[in-house]
Structure 1
Amino acid sequence: MQLNNAQDQSTQAMTEVSLALSMAFFSLLLVALISIGVPESADGEQIKAVTVPEFVLTETSSSAKDTQAENEALATQYIFYFNSKFYDQHLKDVAMSKLDTMQKLVIAMPTDTDVSQALALQKQFRSFDLSLTIMDDKWRAAFEDSMKI
């Protein structure tokens, strides 16, 4: 009887190919993981630290804050509601037609203003970005003094 040493070579070849591919993917994985963990080399373009003098920083930031505060102040209109009339910060009558509907509007009312008046004001200024607040004692005293004259 003859021994047949001839085995199926196709299955053995497929095993070797799959083993080679798995080793290749494993080596690529290791290279990728190592490259992620290593910081960039200093040989290429380096970002130089720019030192800005301190006076430039403080001047720029303070002027930017001033500009921002001015823009915010310009963007907000303040009027006062006293004795069923509207006044500006100089205690002069305000014409409703001169108020800008695109700007925020803050109406300060006396502490004795009832809720129905506040709701009526909200309804009257529905097209505005409206905030209602209470007048402090200094403003109330200023209005009372100006009404006596």
Structure 2
Amino acid sequence: MLIDLHTHTRPLSWDSYLSPDDLVERSKQAGLDGICLSEHDYLWDPAEVIALGKRHNYLVMPAIEINTDDGHILVYGIDKYVYGMHRSGELAKHVNAASGAMVAAHPYRRQMPWYMDDERDYHDALVRASKNPAYQHCAALEKLNGRGTVKENAFSAALCDFMSMPGT
């Protein structure tokens, strides 16, 4: 089963120009089996998520992308945003209480230098990135991001390997 765990829609996110219905139709055309609606700091009403899925006979699940002090974290399994979730440790407490899961979104951001002289620079960037405090709470790192370049996604994949963490 192939599910996009990180999607956005208009007008809820500047990261997308697609309406929810357009997102579902394009996801179906791309051969995906389902999607998670993961807007920034916003949880969809569960009834709207169910209605969208039924309207298209397609798997649509709720999620949220939370802006934390340590970067963006995709969260699955919570039903509300609580003040303090911008701190990854506090977020982890709420996610664990809900038996949910956290995935670090686009881990290359603010971690991968734009210019690296040699392999040592790359290795040093991986070491720095691996020390992100949020990652200790995450079940996985986002290995492939649709807006990431080949180089950025390669860094995320290398970080997964370096940290022995699963990638999405």
TM-score normalised by the chain length of structure 1: 0.30
Structure with the higher helix share, 1 or 2: 1
TM-score normalised by the chain length of structure 2: 0.28
State which structure, 1 or 2, has the greater radius of gyration over its C-alpha atoms. Answer: 1
